[in-house]
Amino acid sequence: MFRLATKNDVNKIMDIVKVIIVDMKCEGNYQWDEFYPTDKDFLNDINNNNLYVLEENDTLLGFICVVKANNKDYENVSIKSRDESYIIHRLGVNKNYRNQKIAQRLLEYGEKIAKKNNIFLMKSDTKITNIKMNNLFQKVGYIKKCEFQMQEKDGNYGTYNYYEKDLRM
């Protein structure tokens, strides 16, 4: 069952995040680390009603942050649609439920939220070293528009792929 996340979910979400960080580091992907994402990021998402979880039998299978875009999002991306959109910011799957299309279901739920609000464009980004997320976006119909540089929490700049998906297609 999909539902809005609550503050009571944060510990379970952070447990999933900690495992994801270890797995990412083993794959040479440093997009998430001890500085990002934090419980404060998820609490902010919850306070803004942007964080959703997929739960079955009291087990948290995964989470996704779906945010209505504003004009400042992706300012430094030159090739982007100006249409109203939603942005996927954070997505994670419980390690015990990987390879069961949970991430795909989470993305589809984000798209359902957009369509319900008569918005037909999704945007997202991921670090170029995040092979799994890049592959997932492409598998479910997101189109890579460009690469761009983004400042990270440590002050350094990383290279990211920027994606869009037209939901009218």
- Residue 133, both tokens: 């997320």
Report the number of distinct structural domains present in the chain: 1
In CATH, what number is assigned to the domain containing residue 63?
Answer: 3.40.630.30
pTM: 0.94
Q: What is the 3-state secondary structure (H, E, C) of 105-122?
A: HHHHHHHHHHHHCCCCEE
Q: What is the pLDDT along the chain (169 residues), one digit of tens a residue?
A: 999 999 999 999 999 999 999 999 999 999 999 999 999 999 999 999 999 999 999 999 999 999 998 867 787 787 778 889 999 999 999 999 999 999 999 999 999 999 999 999 999 999 999 999 999 999 999 999 999 998 887 778 899 999 999 999 7
**For residues 54 and 63, what is the distance between their CA atoms, to the nearest angstrom?**
6
Helix axes 10-26, 39-47, angle to 10 degrees: 130
Alpha helices, DSSP H, located in the chain: 10-26, 39-47, 102-116, 131-139
Q: What letter represents residue 138's amino acid?
A: Q
- What's the pLDDT at 120? 97
- What's the pLDDT at 71? 65
Q: Which domain holds residue 142?
A: 2-166
CA-based radius of gyration for the chain? 15
